[in-house]
Amino acid sequence: MRILRFLTAFAVLAFAVSCTKWDSELDALKDRVETLEKQVDALNSSISELQQVVAALESGDYITSIEELEDGSGYVITFAKHGTMTVRNGQDGKDGKDAPVIGIKQDMDGIYYWTITVDGKEEFLLTDDGEKVPVSGKDGNDGQDGKDGVSPALGIDEEGYWTVDMLDGNGPRRILDANGEPVKAQGDSGDSMFAEIDNSADDYVTFVLANGETITVPKRITELKFNDAASEVSFNSRQTKKLKLTVKGISRAEVLSIPDGWTAVLDLESYSKTLSVTAPDVLSPEKFQSSGMVSLVGIDENGNTTVAAQLVSVLPDFTDEQGTFVVIEGNMTTENGTLVYIDRNNNYYENIYENANGGEEIGNVVQDMYIYDGKIYLLTQNGSRMDGAGRFVVCDLKTMKKEYALELEFYQESTTGNSVLCWPQHLVVTDENTAYIQYSTSDYELYSGIRKMNLQTRTIEDADVPGTGGAFTVDGAVKARLVYSRGKVIAGKGNSVVIIDAVSGNVIKTVPMDSDCVGEEQRQVKNVVKGADGNIYVLISARFTGISYSPSWNGNPKVACMDHDGNILWEDDLEGGFQFPVATYSPAVQLCASFNEPELFFITTDFFTADQAGSYNYETMEMNPTVISGMNDGIYGYMGIHPFTEQLFVGTAPQYLSTDIYIYDSTAPGAGYVKYSSKKASPAGVDFAYRFSDEWINR
C-alpha cells in the first residue's frame, strides 16, 4: 500500500538517529499510519453509503426499516430496492481543514454530482476530460445505455498527500487546495460524509451531509411482528389463543413454520390482525413438540420479505398417570431445588413450579413429593433459606400453582439433650387430613423419626409416632421413602420395619430383620418398596461388626418379602460379591420396583460414589449385580421403572453441580439410553404419577 511505502522511506531516513529516538518516532509513525488508514477506509465507506442513498432517491426507492445502533452513533437503514446499509453520524476533526470533504450537489439538470471541498471551497469533482461525475447512473437516450454512476476513491500517496481516483482509468491524482498546493493528510478530521441523520419525521428521513447539503428519502416502514411482549406464550392442552399482530406495508403474508402437532390460522382481513394458534392434545399418542417457534413471512409490494416469530409452548397435564417427575435437590449452599416433568411422549419440561408461580422457587434441598386428591405436596429440607417458598409446599396438580407453603419448623431433643431443628425428608399423604413425614435432625443427622401432620390445621405434632424415633441408622426411621398401601404406612427403622395404622397413627407391628445376628453383629434396613405382586420387599445389609464407616462383614445382604400384616413370607441372600453401605452418609440404596414385573433395582456397592446398580427377580430369585455399571458421576437419588413403558430411569449428579437422567430399557439396560440434563444439582429421585393412584395404592 502507498502508505506503507511512505512509512518505509521515513523509517530509512530516521535510522541515523539514536535507537531510543528511533523507537519513539517509529511508534508515533505507526500510530499515525494506522489512524490514516482507518480514516481512508471510513471515508470511502461513507462515499459508498452516500451513493446508495442518492441511488435510492433518484430511482424512487423508499426506506422500509430504520433502527438506531445500540451506541447511538448511527442507524441501520433498509431500502425496499437497495438493500441494507449502516450510516454513522459524522465526527468533527480538530479544525475541519486538513482533509478534503467529499460531498454531492444537485446541478441545474436535476442530477446529483460529486463535489470536493478543500479549505471551505466547494467545487464539482471533474474527470480529466473536465466532465462532472454523477453520483448515480444517468438514463441514456432512446436506444442507448445510460451512464453508470461513479464512486470516487480517496487515498493517500507514498508522500502522505490526499488523492482521489475517479476510476476512469487515469489513476489517482492529488487533491489541491485553493492555492493549488497538494493537501497533506494529518489524520485529525472527521471520518463520515454524513453530519446528521434525522429520523424524527413520520414519512421521511433527512440525511445532512458534511458539506451542508440535505437529502430527503421517503419512509414507508414495513413491519410484521407479534404484539405479545412475553418472550414465550404458554398454552394449556388443546387451547386456542389469538396472537395479535402489527402489520404495516405488507401486501400478503402466510405461516412460515409451526411446531409439530400445532395448528395456526392467519387472519389479516379483520380490523384486529391475528394468528389463531392451537396447542396439541398432550394426552394424544401422537408425537408433538412441547415448544417451538411459530413464524410468519410477509411480502411487500416490491417482493421484499419480513419474518416475524413467536416462541410458544404447551403446558403438560401433570395429572396424567403416564407422567414422570424428577425431584432435584439443588445445593444447600448455592441454589434451590426444582421439579422436572417428562410427559408420555418424552417431552422434557424444566422449572414447572417456577414457571407457574412467577419465578418463585420451591425451596432449598427439595427431598420428596407426593400426589393426593388433585394436589402435589413438595418437601424441602431447608425451606426458604435461599428465598424459596418453604419446607412444605402444596400446589394444584393441574396447574402447578402454589396453594400454600409452610416453613414447618419443628424440633427434636437430640442424643446430646439439646433441642435441634429437624430436616423433613420423605412423606406420604394418607387422606385430606393427614400426612406422615420422616425426618432427621440437623446436627449431622444424629437422630431420626416419623411425625404425623394435620393438613387441616397445617401443624405437625410435637412428638414422633411412638416407636419410630431413635439414633440415626441404628433404631430411628430410615432416611428413605415411606410406603403407603392399603391404609398402612410402612417404613424402615434401624434394623426393623414398622407398620403404622394411617388413621390412628399408631405402630401396629415392628418386624425385626436381624434375628440371625449373633453377639455384636448388626444389620440395617436399607429400603422398603411395594412390588408388582402387592407384597412389601425389604433390602437389608449383611451382618457386620465394628463402626459403620469401616465395618467387618459377615455374609451377604438379603431381601425379605413381607405381607401387609408384617409376616415375613421368605428371605433370600443376595449373592454377587457386593455389600450395601451402612455408614450414615449412605442410609439408602435407591430401591425401586417394577409396577408390572417381578423386578427390583438397587445400588450394589458400598462405595460413597455408587457407580453400579443391580436387579433382582423375586420370582426366579436371580440376582444380577451389575445390570448398570460405569456410572462414574455416581448414581444419585431414587431410580424408577416407568409403569407403562418399563423404562428404567437412573439419575446422576456430575460433581454435585447438575443433574443427568438416563432412561434405559429395563429388560436390556446395556443396549443404550436416552439422556436428559438439568443445570440444577443432584436428583433426589424419579417418581411417577401412577404410584399415587388408587389402583396402585390398593393393589
CB burial of residue 18 (10 Å; 0-12, 13-18, 19+) = exposed
- Whether residue 617 is predicted with pLDDT greater than 80 in this model: the reply is yes
One-letter amino acid of 35: T
H or E element at residue 224 = strand 223-226
Lowest-confidence region among 73-77, 133-137, 490-494: 133-137
Q: Where in the chain is the domain with CATH 2.60.40.10?
A: 223-314
pLDDT tens profile 350-405: 999 999 999 999 999 999 999 999 999 999 999 998 999 999 999 999 999 999 99
Give Cβ neighbours of residue 692 (< 8 Å, ≥ 6 apart): 370, 371, 372
- Cα separation, 454 vs 647, whole angstroms: 36
- Whether residue 226 is predicted with pLDDT greater than 50 in this model: the reply is yes
Q: Which of 548 and 90 is assigned the larger pLDDT?
A: 548
Q: Which grid cell sits at 515?
A: 434375628
Q: Which of 130 and 390 is assigned the larger pLDDT?
A: 390
Lowest-confidence region among 129-143, 284-298, 440-454, 460-474: 129-143
Q: Estimate the crossing angle of helix 2-14 against helix 19-58, to 10 degrees.
A: 160
Beta bridge partners of residue 663, listed in sequence order: 649, 674
Q: Is 332 in a helix, a strand, or coil?
A: coil
- Whether residue 462 is predicted with pLDDT greater than 90 in this model: the reply is yes
Average pLDDT score over residue span 157-169: 70
- Give whichever of 82-86, 230-234, 285-289, 540-544 has the largest mean pLDDT: 540-544
Q: Which grid cell sits at 318?
A: 401433570
- Cα separation, 279 vs 264, whole angstroms: 9
Q: Which grid cell sits at 6?
A: 511512505
Q: Which grid cell sits at 13?
A: 531516513
- Cα separation, 29 vs 356, whole angstroms: 63
- Cα separation, 234 vs 697, whole angstroms: 34
Q: Which grid cell sits at 17?
A: 538517529
- Whether residue 64 is predicted with pLDDT greater than 90 in this model: the reply is no
One-letter amino acid of 312: V
Per-residue confidence (pLDDT) for residue 4, from 0 to 100: 39
H or E element at residue 690 = none
- Cα separation, 437 vs 325, whole angstroms: 20
Per-residue confidence (pLDDT) for residue 405, from 0 to 100: 98
- Whether residue 607 is predicted with pLDDT greater than 50 in this model: the reply is yes
Rg (CA), the chain: 39
Give Cβ neighbours of residue 102 (< 8 Å, ≥ 6 apart): 43, 46, 47, 50, 114, 115, 116, 125, 152, 154, 164, 193
CB burial of residue 626 (10 Å; 0-12, 13-18, 19+) = middle
Cα four-point dihedral sign 405, 408, 409, 414: negative
- Cα separation, 300 vs 285, whole angstroms: 41
In eight-state DSSP terms, residue 134 is: B
Q: Which of 194 and 548 is assigned the larger pLDDT?
A: 548
The torsion of the CA quartet 439, 441, 447, 451, rounded to 10 degrees, works out to -30
Contact 606, 582 (CB under 8 A): yes
Beta bridge partners of residue 48, listed in sequence order: none
Per-residue confidence (pLDDT) for residue 38, from 0 to 100: 57
- Whether residue 14 is predicted with pLDDT greater than 70 in this model: the reply is no
In eight-state DSSP terms, residue 331 is: B
- Whether residue 695 is predicted with pLDDT greater than 50 in this model: the reply is yes
H or E element at residue 685 = strand 683-688
Contact 616, 622 (CB under 8 A): yes
Q: Which grid cell sits at 158?
A: 507514498
Lowest-confidence region among 30-39, 176-185, 342-351: 30-39
- Cα separation, 189 vs 175, whole angstroms: 16
Q: Residues for the chain: how many in total?
A: 699
Other CB atoms within 10 A of residue 399 CB? 13
Mean pLDDT, the chain, whole residue set: 85
The cell 439419575 sits on which residue? Answer: 651
Distance of CA 676 to the CA centre of its chain: 13
- Whether residue 608 is predicted with pLDDT greater than 70 in this model: the reply is yes
C-alpha pair distances (Å), 555 with each of 123, 518, 625: 105, 12, 16
Cα four-point dihedral sign 210, 212, 218, 222: positive
User: In the chain, what percentage of residues exceed pLDDT 70?
Assistant: 83
- Cα separation, 544 vs 548, whole angstroms: 8
- Whether residue 454 is predicted with pLDDT greater than 70 in this model: the reply is yes
- Whether residue 670 is predicted with pLDDT greater than 80 in this model: the reply is no
Determine the topology of domain 223-314 in CATH.
Answer: Immunoglobulin-like (2.60.40)
Compute the half-sphere exposure of residue 624: CA atoms within 13 Å on the CB side of its CA: 15
| pLDDT classification of 46: cutoffs 50, 70, 90 | low
| pLDDT classification of 92: cutoffs 50, 70, 90 | very low
Through-space distance between the first and last CA atoms of the chain, rounded to whole angstroms: 88
H or E element at residue 280 = none
Q: Is 139 in a helix, a strand, or coil?
A: coil
